[in-house]
Amino acid sequence: MIELTKEQVSQFNEDGFLIVDKLVDDDIVQQVAARYESIFRGEFTSGVLPDEVNWQEGRDSAELTRQICNGWKGDKIIANVVLREDIGRACATLAGWPGARVMVDNVLWKPPGARPLGFHQDNSYLEWLSPQELLSCWIALDDTTAEGGTMEVVKGSHRWGRFPPASEFHGPEHYRKEMEAAAVKIGKTPEIVPIVVPRGAGSFHHGWAWHGSGFNDSDNPRRSLVVHCMSSETQYVPEHLGQGTGKIYGRYKRMGDNEMDESHFPITWTKDGRRTPQLQSFLEQDAH
């Protein structure tokens, strides 16, 4: 179970990110990592296709970082991590929310030689949400190294202000370019911190913190699972559904209200002890 101290919360508020030594037990890490080859072949044990399948074997370039979004919908082993109550509680605690729900997960695999993911601010893609906020838990499934294309975060950059979504995300040559341009614009010198941790460890990062990852110049893969949480009280902003990731996730907006449907954006923790009621039966249900 993840238990954050007051000192860790204070450090997160100062830096915009927090490295945590142990997020997932080693046996769970092995179970999740073992699913990667299958899901990137398009084999989803739940029978449900994730919302974004940005890389598939035989279809996409081997040079690109492999990514699937909302893998929890397609695989129960992944779901058992993404939907954990303590991850939701930790995200809500760091963000100052009354509760947390999952907005999206990222299943990421960067093989040796794979290209970068461009630096960006997560919140910049979310004008279709109110509040326009994410807080994310990044879990390493392999030991990470600076030269192995691990995630990098710019210390204190959550206080730089809002910038437009990155124009290049998958595989840019100059993956820090837009972050560096933002730093020049406001007169900052970026302090870039690589998240170098053993497997099972990871970090939390603020939705306005600049982050990305470089080339994997090592001989080892870099696999990770990211849980992006939003406030349990988040609602749609209908006039902005055609912007950012709203083009994809706006499909789940219900007629007649702006509430987030818990079948697609489940609540994992609130201060008053609430979780989406169907979560336990969903997690226990056999794959089809």
Quick: pLDDT tens for 181-194. Answer: 999 999 999 999 99
φ, ψ for residue 157, nearest 5 deg: -75, -10
pLDDT digits (tens, 9 = 90+) for 191-241: 999 999 999 999 999 999 999 999 999 999 999 999 999 999 999 999 999
- DSSP sequence for 119-185: EE-GGGG-TTEES---EEEEEESS---GGGT-EEEETTGGGS---PPPS--BS-SSTTHHHHHHHHH
- pLDDT one-digit tens code per residue, 60-107: 999 999 999 999 999 999 999 999 999 999 999 999 999 999 999 999
Residue 99 lies in a domain: yes
What is the distance in angstroms between the CA of the first residue and the CA of the last residue of the chain?
A: 30
Give pLDDT tens digits for 42-57: 999 999 999 999 999 9
pLDDT at residue 287 greater than cutoff 90: no
Tally of domains in the chain: 1
CATH of the domain at 121: 2.60.120.620
The pTM of this model reads 0.96
- Calculate mean pLDDT across residues 143-148: 97
- As beta bridge partners, residue 193 has 153
Q: What is the mean pLDDT of the chain?
A: 96
Contacts of residue 188, Cβ cutoff 8 Å, sequence gap at least 6: 157, 160
pLDDT tier at 288 (50, 70, 90 boundaries)?
very low
Domain assignment present for residue 274? The answer is: no
Inside any domain, residue 282: no
Taking phi over 0 as left and psi of -120 to 50 as alpha, with beta for the rest, 20 belongs to: beta
pLDDT value at residue 265: 98
Q: How confident is the model at residue 168 (pLDDT cuts 50, 70, 90)?
A: confident
Residue 105 lies in a domain: yes
Residue 85 and residue 106: Cα distance in Å, rounded?
A: 18
Q: What residues make up the domain containing 185? A: 15-203+214-222+233-260
- Evaluate whether residue 273 is within a structural domain: no
Q: Which amino acid is at 284?
A: E
Three-state secondary-structure class, residue 58: coil
The rounded distance, in Å, linking the Cα atoms of 109 and 137 is 16
CA distances from 119 to 81, 133, 163, 170 (A): 26, 17, 12, 10
The arithmetic mean of pLDDT across residues 247-267, rounded, is 97
DSSP sequence for 5-46: -HHHHHHHHHHSEEEES-SS-HHHHHHHHHTHHHHTTT--TT
